[in-house]
Amino acid sequence: MEPETQAVDLTAYLSEKIGADNLVVNGITKVEQGMSSETFFFDLSYTKNQNEVREEIVIKREPSGGILETYDLSKEFRLLNSLIAGGITVPQVLWNEPDAKIFERPFYAMKKVEGDVFNVDPRRPSKLMFNDDERPSLAGDFVSNIVKIHNFDWKNSDMGFPADPGKDNEAVIRQIEQHEQAIDRAGYRSLPIIAMSINWLKQNSPEIDRLSIVHGDYRIGNFISKGGRIQAVIDWEMCHLGDPHEDLAYILSPAWRSADEGLVNHLMTEGEFIKKYQEMSGISVDPYKLLYYGGINIIRGLDLMCTAAKNFTHGQSSDLRDGIHAMTVDFLLEALMGVITMLTAS
Amino acid sequence: MKVSIKTYISNINDVLANIVLPSVDMGFAKIQLSYAIDMLNQLQNRVEYRHDVIKDDYIAAKAILDLICVALNDNHVDIPKDIIHHIESNSPDGVADTISEDELTRMETASTKVLDLMYENSTQINNFNEIEKNVLSLLRQLTKKKAGLRVPTINLELLES
């Protein structure tokens, strides 16, 4: 994390929001690892109900560039509120601020979750993370959280998001179309590989047996852990309704495995993951759907990489990581061809 | 659409000059970095994408276009007028070595249009599965060739140790 000097003074605003006296912002730190929305840690001291308090709060602000197109963070705020009520381990959100004048762009605030985030670079093999003592309990939490997410009763929640995409396979068709539009806006829909793959995936989409909340980015690097337990599942920007196999294909992707042991998300073998998941969720894992959603996940990756390339080209991003993302497009196209080839053969 | 070499160099230099250089304290490193920026600036107008790679993309797009157009024609599916002249352009053997990026984009766009048309009319095309298989084979060959361009990602763990 790098310290960031903010020209904006939020002291009065935060005092009012927290209901605090004598509030002092001791420091603001921006998390540099994020590639989508911006995350800031605010170190605060204040008096409340005659008690001296020192705490850090987290502010998540809408992005100005990066790999995601501009989106409404208030949806994520409402989603997190609902998920907490459903017993899913997520950070406790505090308030949503739609007024862009306060802190340059809309944001929401949440309590800081103590613990560590273990990030890996999907473009290269990574040595095994976590120690052997904490791995079994982390593996258990990893499976139980995704099971809770997939079994969450979204129909009877007040999240107001994601919108109900309708029945059968409409959710995946709509999802492909959204990615297709983003890829088109970035200027990459005219590549024959993308055109062929999108057409194929649309024409061969399997039925969705159970429409669930899909996290969309559930992996190592997107949970906070401490003492061998997952304290919070984070980064919900990609969340939507869909087939649970989409998350499962993503979780099982080679990108998140340890280099030498091939452990899924550095936690367990593929067989252990699938066995535990099926036992706990009651959802039967379908190998064809895993492969199909592997293709969908690559299309989603292309959406992100092409958007990053567009932002990089048009000067909306001065982050060189977006430049490398533009070059990652060819790698994803190769992977996509591999998946489509296997799908057409099966 | 590809990010142009000019954009890559310009953006890399922007970050190096305005973000990295001011934070480098060591004299020798600062000098080396400033020379790297200068060199990249000088290269900006001297480099472009490899012609053989552009040509490979062009030949694949043209082959797909030709393949699908024959199938569409055989199955009485109308081919849009703006596509016709692309079919009549050079055969893959006669493609010039110096295809421009604009020419490639036009050919890829035409190829994509007939691909979309093929899927829209899939039930009308008798040998659809065979055509699809052949298109896939052409695309697979292309991605295989391109894989040879990639170099391993820099290992940050080694840099940090």
- B25 and B57 together in one domain: no
- B78 and B17 together in one domain: no
Locate B48 and state its tokens: 């472009």
The answer to whether residue B82 sits within a structural domain is: yes
The answer to whether residue B29 sits within a structural domain is: yes
Whether residues A320 and B12 touch (CB distance < 8 A) is answered with yes
A-chain CB neighbours of B7 within 8 Å are 312-313
B52 to chain A, minimum CA–CA distance in Å? 16
Question: In this prediction, what percent of chain B has a pLDDT beyond 70?
Answer: 89
The answer to whether residue B153 sits within a structural domain is: no
The answer to whether residue B101 sits within a structural domain is: yes
- Check residue A166 and give its pLDDT: 65
Region B1-9: what's the mean pLDDT? 81
Provide the number of structural domains found in chain B. Answer: 2
A272 to chain B, minimum CA–CA distance in Å? 29
B103 to chain A, minimum CA–CA distance in Å? 13
B139 to chain A, minimum CA–CA distance in Å? 6
Q: What is the DSSP string of A288-326?
A: HHHHHHHHHHHHHHHHHHHHHHHHHHTTS---HHHHHHH
A-chain CB neighbours of B144 within 8 Å are 334
- B42 and B57 together in one domain: no
ipTM, 2 dp: 0.87
- B103 and B120 together in one domain: yes
The tens place of each residue's pLDDT in chain A, 346 residues long, gives 444 445 568 899 999 999 999 999 999 998 865 556 788 999 999 999 889 999 999 999 987 655 555 567 888 898 898 898 878 999 999 999 999 999 988 999 999 999 999 888 777 778 889 999 999 999 999 999 999 999 999 888 877 655 666 666 788 898 899 999 999 999 999 999 999 999 999 999 999 988 899 999 999 999 999 999 999 999 998 888 899 999 999 999 988 998 888 999 999 999 999 999 999 999 999 999 999 999 999 999 999 899 888 888 887 777 787 788 878 888 899 999 999 999 998 7
- H or E element at residue A27: strand A21-30
A323 to chain B, minimum CA–CA distance in Å? 7
Whether residues B105 and A190 touch (CB distance < 8 A) is answered with yes
The answer to whether residue B158 sits within a structural domain is: no
Q: What does DSSP say about strands A93-97 and A51-61: parallel, antiparallel, or unpaired?
A: unpaired
- B24 and B39 together in one domain: yes
Q: What is the DSSP string of A84-122?
A: HHTT---PPEEEEE--TTTSSS-EEEEEPPPSB-----T
Higher-scoring residue by pLDDT: B156, A38: A38
State how far the Cα of A322 lies from the Cα of A306, in Å rounded to an integer. Answer: 9
- Per-residue pLDDT tens digits for B48-102: 888 888 999 999 999 999 999 999 999 999 888 888 777 766 666 667 778 888 8
Whether residues B116 and A330 touch (CB distance < 8 A) is answered with no
Query: Residues in chain A whose beta carbon is closer than 8 A to a beta carbon of chain B?
Result: 121, 123-124, 127, 186-196, 199-200, 202-203, 309, 312-313, 315, 318-320, 323, 326, 330-331, 333-334, 337, 340-341, 344
- Check residue B83 and give its pLDDT: 83
A-chain CB neighbours of B8 within 8 Å are 323
- Check residue A3 and give its pLDDT: 43
- pLDDT tier, B6 (very low <50, low <70, confident <90, very high otherwise): confident
Is residue B12 less than 8 Å (CB to CB) from chain A?
A: yes
Q: Using CA coordinates, name the residue in chain A closest to B143.
A: A334
Cα B115 to its chain centre, rounded Å, is 17
The answer to whether residue B95 sits within a structural domain is: yes
- Per-residue pLDDT tens digits for B121-155: 999 999 999 999 999 999 998 888 887 777 776 65
A114 to chain B, minimum CA–CA distance in Å? 25
- B37 and B59 together in one domain: no
- B16 and B56 together in one domain: no
Q: Using CA coordinates, name the residue in chain A closest to B152.
A: A124
Is residue B13 less than 8 Å (CB to CB) from chain A?
A: no
- Check residue A188 and give its pLDDT: 94
Q: Using CA coordinates, name the residue in chain B closest to A344.
A: B133
Whether residues A312 and B12 touch (CB distance < 8 A) is answered with no
**Whether A244 contacts A215, CB under 8 Å:** no
- B44 and B59 together in one domain: no
Handedness of CA A173, A174, A179, A183 (dihedral sign): positive
Whether residues A203 and B143 touch (CB distance < 8 A) is answered with no
| Residue from the list A192, A312, A319 with its beta carbon closest to the beta carbon of B139 | A192
The answer to whether residue B91 sits within a structural domain is: yes
Helix axes B5-15, A320-345, angle to 10 degrees: 130
- B32 and B56 together in one domain: no
State how far the Cα of A339 lies from the Cα of A199, in Å rounded to an integer. Answer: 14
Is residue B20 less than 8 Å (CB to CB) from chain A?
A: no
- B21 and B79 together in one domain: no
- B91 and B21 together in one domain: no
Range of the domain at B73: 51-147
| Residue B156 pLDDT greater than 70, yes or no | no
State how far the Cα of B6 lies from the Cα of B44, in Å rounded to an integer. Answer: 6
Is residue B115 less than 8 Å (CB to CB) from chain A?
A: yes
Whether residues B153 and A200 touch (CB distance < 8 A) is answered with no
Q: Domains in chain A, start-ordered, CATH in brackets?
A: 2-111 (3.30.200.20), 135-345 (3.90.1200.10)
Nearest by Cα to B49 from A297, A326, A185, A221: A326
The answer to whether residue B119 sits within a structural domain is: yes
Whether residues A196 and B143 touch (CB distance < 8 A) is answered with no
- B72 and B142 together in one domain: yes
Instruction: Determine whether B20 is exposed, middle or buried from the number of CB atoms within 10 Å of its CB (0-12, 13-18, 19+).
Output: middle
B27 to chain A, minimum CA–CA distance in Å? 23
Is residue B49 less than 8 Å (CB to CB) from chain A?
A: no
- Check residue A2 and give its pLDDT: 42
